[in-house]
Amino acid sequence: MASIGTGYDLSSTTYSPDGRIFQVEYAHKAVENSGTAIALRVKDGVVFAVEKIVVSKMLEPTSNRRIHTVDSHIGMAISGLVADGRQLVNRGRSEATQYRDFYGIPITGKVLAERISNFIQVYTLYGVVRPFGCAVLVGCVDKKGPQLYMVDPSGSCYGYYGCAIGKGTRAAKTELEKLDLANMTAREAVKQAARIIYSVHDDVKDKSFVLELSWVCEETKNLHQFVPDELKAAAEEEAKAAKDREESGGD
Amino acid sequence: MEAGPRSFESMFGSNQVSTKTSFEEDWRTSEHMTGTSIMATVFKDGVVIGADSRTTTGSYIANRTTDKLTQVADNVYCCRSGSAADTQAIADYVRWYLNLHSLETEEQAEVKVAANLFHKICYANKNFLLAGIIVAGVDSVNGGSVYSIPLGGSLIKEPFSIGGSGSSYIYGYCDSHYKEGMTKEEALHFVRNALALAMSRDGSSGGVIRTVVITKDGTERSMVPGDKVPRFYEGQ
């Protein structure tokens, strides 16, 4: 690790001489060492894909989920410390249901993402708590159409067409930039997302992984759901085939 | 809404010996009430809302030129009936919450949101409030909408709604004369006639007829002075 704080990194309440808060930067490291999560905002919806690295063959594949439904039309994918991420999902659920009760309309993606980012930011202010060690991708379809936001451990919130977090971020972002997301359908995006996860997965460093795929789009009537089995199986098959071609082509 | 039983007893004569004076000056003790006739209706391009202008304390008309049509957002108005203090306080709260909401969403508020806020306040405090409110406005998501929040705090969306003590007298007129997809002139005519009839029958309603037309292009206020209020059968 190139950047070491040496005295300025012991607490979130200390700035370094060059204006950095090292504890928050270390929190980013927790995200960088975790399985990749990507999301694509396309013409008719948003697709999430997560590389869930499994440490044991005894693990039940659908347990320890990394993608959650926050409100009927909003999904959230976590990268980093999953337990921290789950707190954020709970907070997001609270915010969404309370908003719906208070205002009588479903919360929009932008407002929810900003509420979560404000919540995360608070934990970077005090020495008595630690910053959240996770980043989240928030995607939804609301009255303004499909939207995607990423919130990182510092509490910064940005809107994206395509975004990746976790260990394969660099490679995944390169792949995402090649795609024409604005004109893609959600069905096609599911295949692309699966392909990208398979291609950035490092077989050497990590043993096996389970792919989690979810979407919220016209086809699901704007409800956030896990991708149906047949579509998922087809996407995974194509992704494996693409990876094999890539590997054999390189020889 | 006036002081009830006491005045009836003195009017019909009573065998009881009352320890209170028979002329209890109710205007000295009662709170301000908007006895009222209010209504709102959807039309082709938006909504038209209207109200009378009488505020009473007991049987004294405290204000004969009241404005019961209160703005809570650029595109949302409410018609107030019941306790003047209660409805003003509630409208102020809703205006505050709506403003904050608009800032967070960076958009104009939906009428549905305003109506829900009124409903939450009226229901949560139902034991302490006397407020019958009609919320109406125009937004880009739903066009023109009218929501009625009567005494208990229930919320109902309707194509048109009438409220206040004077409304009892015009249910028949409104049910028979409401049309879907009215023009602005037809809607104003409908509202003015209905309110005129209510004002002529209800002692707690009267004065002038105030109307506001709300469309996506803005709001337009209007008033029909007392002598120009439409007149119907008033005896031979």
pLDDT in tens, chain A (251 residues): 455 668 899 999 999 999 999 999 999 999 999 999 999 999 999 999 999 999 888 999 889 999 999 999 999 999 999 999 999 999 999 999 999 999 999 999 999 999 999 999 999 999 999 999 999 999 999 999 999 999 999 999 999 999 999 999 999 999 999 999 999 999 999 999 999 999 999 888 877 899 999 999 999 999 999 999 999 999 999 999 999 998 887 54
B119 CB neighbours in chain A (<8 A) are 104
What are residue A48's DSSP bridge partners? A39, A214
Quick check: B104 and A114 CB within 8 A?
yes
ipTM comes to 0.87
Among A103, A105, A143, A147, the residue to mutate for chain B (most B Cβ within 10 A): A103
Q: Under a CB-based contact definition with an 8 Å cutoff, are residues B147 and B158 in contact?
A: yes
Task: Give the number of residues written for chain B.
Answer: 236
Instruction: Return d(Cα A79, Cα A106) in angstroms, integer.
Output: 26
**Of A213, A208, A210, which Cα lies nearest the Cα of A229?**
A213
Known catalytic residue at B34: no
**Which of these is catalytic: B36, B56, B70, B211?**
B36
- For A144, the closest chain B residue by CA position comes to B141
Q: How many angstroms separate the CA atoms of B141 and B2, rounded?
A: 41
For residues B216 and B39, what is the distance between their CA atoms, to the nearest angstrom?
20
For B71, B174, B224, the CA distances from B214, given in Å and listed in that order, are 11, 20, 17
CA distance A244 to A249: 8
